Amino acid sequence: MKVLKNKQIIEIEWKVSDQPDAEGRIIFPYKTFLANQKTLLARTDPTGVILDGGASLDDIANALDNLELIALEFHKFTDGRCFTLARLLREAYGFQGDILATGDILTDQIAHMQRCGINLLRLRNEHEINMALGALTSQTVFYQPAADDQQTIRQLRYDLDTR
């Protein structure tokens, strides 16, 4: 699947399956993962899970060290719960793997997704990918702190005042 990572379009080899015995780099739906967690955590192949905004991170907290990818499914662009999940994964749970955003994504949201800890974006078509590249470079300063540890405008101003 084509994704956007580090401002580049790349191909990743992950596939989605609800079959616990599937081989290869597999992303499992949340319900499948919960129902087969012991089996899936014993896999030798890379494993991922798909979460939507209503998923509970507590249900998979003990498995995070064994997951290489978490896909966050944005069912509606107006539902911001996946932003919260991404930040919690990075800041509260210390998740170091890839976080993929997929689904109903607006280019206006992409810079904020990245700031929340999402590092892979799966967009619907080539046109959206090109727009996303522009969105990632158009905004360079921010008011609020986020999971990316980028300095805020206030911190930048303070640094200038102390010189």
pTM summary value: 0.81
For the chain, the structural domain boundaries read 2-161
Q: Is 138 exposed, middle or buried (0-12, 13-18, 19+ CB in 10 A)?
A: exposed
The phi and psi torsions of 152 (rounded to 5 degrees) equal -85, 170
In the predicted model, is pLDDT for residue 57 greater than 70?
yes
Residue type, 66: N
- pLDDT tens digit sequence for 119-163: 998 877 666 766 776 666 666 666 666 777 677 767 777 666 665
Q: Do residues 100 and 70 make contact, with C-beta atoms less than 8 angstroms apart? A: yes
Can you name the CATH fold of 2-161?
TIM Barrel (3.20.20)
Which regions of 6-111 does DSSP assign to beta strands (E)? 8-11, 15-16, 26-29, 47-52, 69-74, 98-103
- pLDDT tens digit sequence for 21-33: 999 999 999 999 9
How sure is the predictor about 79, in pLDDT bands with cuts at 50, 70 and 90? Answer: confident
Whole-number pLDDT of residue 153: 67
| Cα 64 to Cα 16, 54, 83, 134, distances in angstroms | 18, 18, 18, 32
